[in-house]
Structure 1
């Protein structure tokens, strides 16, 4: 019986269809394998811990008692609970190596030689499928465990030492400085307090405090619970000649520790010593407004007023003395810098009964703003055409919002790497994230490629089955 022979056109079409089918299936499976581990890792990430901030507590009213409460000796606080444990990072995962040959795809058909005596057709070589690019492995962050925040925290606020007109009529004046301490931590603490006084001020017998040299005094320790707040009055004495050294300012420092937590927490704040205008001299008046720096730290303005309360016109002059770190960057017209902390201004002729007003720009370094409140001094001078020269001086207050701002302390977040979502991106309120949407789109495309490959294979098979059956090959003639 004669053997039927397939036409060369059908054999070529079959050879072309098989490589296309294998290539399409391989690309679809590679895309699914590439995005599968990344999508699965993105769906199981845990969000970063959230730092909860508590609302600030309003300051208590000033203590009006003359004697401060007795200072207790050092007391050991109750040990706090141990710090919470940190969660170790997820184990390293590496996706399987890419598959270059799609499973389930039959190899290219082999063309058999025709029967003896028939024409021989050589099959062209099938080109090899190019390998897919390697997929980078998904690795977790290289950073170690995130340290927990310290349970220790303390904050101190002070008032100013403000002197009245009676200061000019006494050899020395007793004053009080109110200090408020707040345990801002989450555990019981032992808080120690110390303060430094400028030249011309001394301690007047504050109970529980002793001199430590160089104008510094150290007090006992208080045992406080978490969130507790207490106030203390420091008894001071201001010398009658201290006004000659204005501006004057001091500082208070607190240190907190606990047996249940490592390290220490500390805070400090300055206080200003404010003198009234004087020594009192008839015929001259002087006033200065408070200088306040907002949270941005931008330059502020110092407003001064020099009044002639006498009956004769006089030439006016004002000299501003600022603490370290506070300067007048660009003196206005009629003003000149004597040294970095002193600026002198000519107020012109001030008529009798009139007041000259001056405004100076003032800047402060971040360090000076953190040490606020501070104090500056103003010296006013009137030189009349006839009569003695009149001069008074006073101090003014310098405040800064940066001194009251408490930075939010939170543990450092791990550095994200390829295939890892950053903190806060693990979810978006129940919806799909951009990473998930991309993964879904790639999977859909892969599925469509597989369907397309199957359709091409089916179409090719149908064409082969529905095509005309070739007739028998003619017998060779002897």
Structure 2
């Protein structure tokens, strides 16, 4: 039986034809899918560039500096180490890193060395939209204050010099120049704080600090509390800081109040008075004020208290035995307080949103005992009023985007430019190139098969002649 002689060179070409066909088909399918990828990246980039950041409600509008009525100080007050933070610091949004849509290279596969030269090369896909510009540096500042808290030694001195600690934080992303102003209530005066000068009306202005991003520091303001200041309680003041940064238009600021807290007094034997602090949660709902009046004498006495609240804070519904003398004053009768006993009273308290934003504030309470025999005994003290709304007030800074910048807002006009035409041209070129590659692979496979089929006839040995 005659055998067909298939040469090794032909068998090798047949084995190489099939991988080449598979590779060409895979390349064509991959390139055919590339136009979808090419049109996705530029669209998302254009949507991000078209969405304008909206102003976030609740942000503080930059204001101008107060009118100066006195000489402005040239030096800033001395600084000291800030107290440890008891609550997490305000979060500041760091500028997002600039990102660009990655180029989507067309897949390429090297042809075997024995195969003919490959077809036309596939051009790379390039994003048509320009890269977003870097964000503008933001300026931000935050201030917190302690209270002016007096001890029992206050009652034995004509006046008391103490300090008010103010802590400042540069919450921005750029160095800033920070200035401080503070207002003292009646009965308090400046005790010679270096770097600060009076502007009149209890207002003082200090020199300027240069602060790095994220820097946090404190300064101590020296204040003098008059010996008769207790007669004007409740007393509260305020502190405000403003910051300006190079390259950032306008200025930003923050403010916080502080309370002047007096101990119970003037000291009188036979009576004890105590009041708890008032705290409003983030909802701003009504809170409660607890007052305790103790009879430490030897005889029974008729007790009464009077609560004095700052502007914006009131007792909406006085309990039984209490009467609203004015929006800021509530008087309560406690009846007979036996010797050695303590009467307790609880009053509901509400505050307007403006008053809560100005917190901490101070309130005052006066306690009185009128014994059946002897002189009437009376003392008074102040208590602190705080609100979560004051801590939650956003630090003034440039408005930030309120939504995703990669999605067009509803009803926003579509972005139309010449990029769409270039993208379509690129897609057509890719499709044509992939089609040519497929046709080239089919032609190569067909030619190889024809040669294989013709090989037996050409290579078969001739029959011997007898």
So what's the TM-score if we normalise by structure 2? 0.60
* 1:356 equivalent in alignment to 2:349: no
Deviation of the 1:147 alpha carbon: 12
- Asked whether 1:378 is paired with 2:365, we answer yes
**2:314: which partner in 1?**
327
How far apart are residue 222 of structure 1 and its match? 0.1
Give yes or no for contact 1:148–1:411 (8 Å, CA) kept in 2: no
1:410 aligns with 2:400: yes
State yes or no: 1:247 paired with 2:240: no
1:207 equivalent in structure 2: 194
The aligned counterpart of 1:159 is 146
- How far the C-alpha of 1:407 sits from its partner, in A, is 2.9
Counterpart contact for 2:304–2:334, Cα < 8 Å: yes
SS in 2 for 1:263: coil
- How far apart, in 2, do the equivalents of 1:350 and 1:337 lie? 22
- Please state how far the C-alpha of 1:289 moved relative to its aligned partner: 0.3
Larger of the two Rg values belongs to structure: 1
Is the contact between residue 178 and residue 243 of structure 2 (CA under 8 Å) also seen in structure 1?
yes
Partner SS state of residue 155, structure 2: helix
Deviation at residue 370 of structure 1 after TM alignment: 0.8
CA distance in 2, matches of 1:330, 1:149: 51
Report how many residues are paired.
300
Q: Deviations over 1:368-392 (max 9, x none)?
A: 1111110000000111111110000
The residue correspondences of 1:31-430 to structure 2 (distance < 5 A) are: 44-46=43-45, 72-73=75-76, 151-407=138-394, 409-413=399-403, 416-418=409-411
Aligned-residue offset at 1:402 = 1.1
Contact 1:292–1:399 under 8 Å retained in 2: yes
Distance 2:334 2:216 in 1: 48
- Structure 1's 313 and 230: CA in aligned 2 closer, same or farther, altered over 3 A? same
Aligned to 1:391, what secondary structure does the other structure show? strand
How far apart in 1 are the matches of 2:316 and 2:133? 44
Does the CA contact (< 8 Å) of 1:313 and 1:351 recur in 2? yes
- CA apart distance, 1:419: 8.3
Following TM superposition, by how much is the alpha carbon of 1:296 offset from its aligned partner in structure 2, in angstroms? 1.2
**CA contact 1:146–1:411 (8 Å) conserved in 2:** no
Across the aligned residues of Structure 1 and Structure 2, the Cα RMSD in angstroms comes to 3.2
CA contact (8 A) 1:149 1:411 kept: no
Equivalent pair of 1:294/1:401 in contact (CA under 8 Å): yes
8 Å CA contact 1:86, 1:147 repeated in 2: yes
Contact 2:76–2:196 (CA under 8 A) maintained in structure 1: no
State the 1:149 CA deviation: 6.9
The superposition leaves residues 409-457 of structure 1 with CA deviations (integer Å, 9 ceiling, x where unpaired) of 5235587234889xxxxxxxxxxxxxxxxxxxxxxxxxxxxxxxxxxxx
> Where does the alignment leave 5 or more consecutive residues of structure 1 unmatched?
1-36, 52-69, 75-82, 88-144, 422-478
8 Å CA contact retained: 1:147, 1:411 = no
Q: Could you say if the C-alpha distance between residues 191 and 419 of structure 1 is closer, same or farther in structure 2, counting changes exceeding 3 Å?
A: closer
1:31-85 CA distance string (max 9 Å, x none) = xxxxxx9xx889943576999xxxxxxxxxxxxxxxxxx99459xxxxxxxx999
Q: Taking structure 1 as reference, are residues 224 and 418 closer, same or farther at Cα in structure 2, changes over 3 Å only?
A: closer
The separation in 1 between residues aligned to 2:350 and 2:270, in whole angstroms, is 32
Partner Cα separation in structure 2 for residue 281 and residue 148 of structure 1: 64
Distance in 2 (alpha carbons) for counterparts of 1:211 and 1:193? 12
Do the aligned partners of 1:287 and 1:304 also contact (CA within 8 Å) in 2? yes
Alpha-carbon distance in 2 for matches of 1:169, 1:196: 26
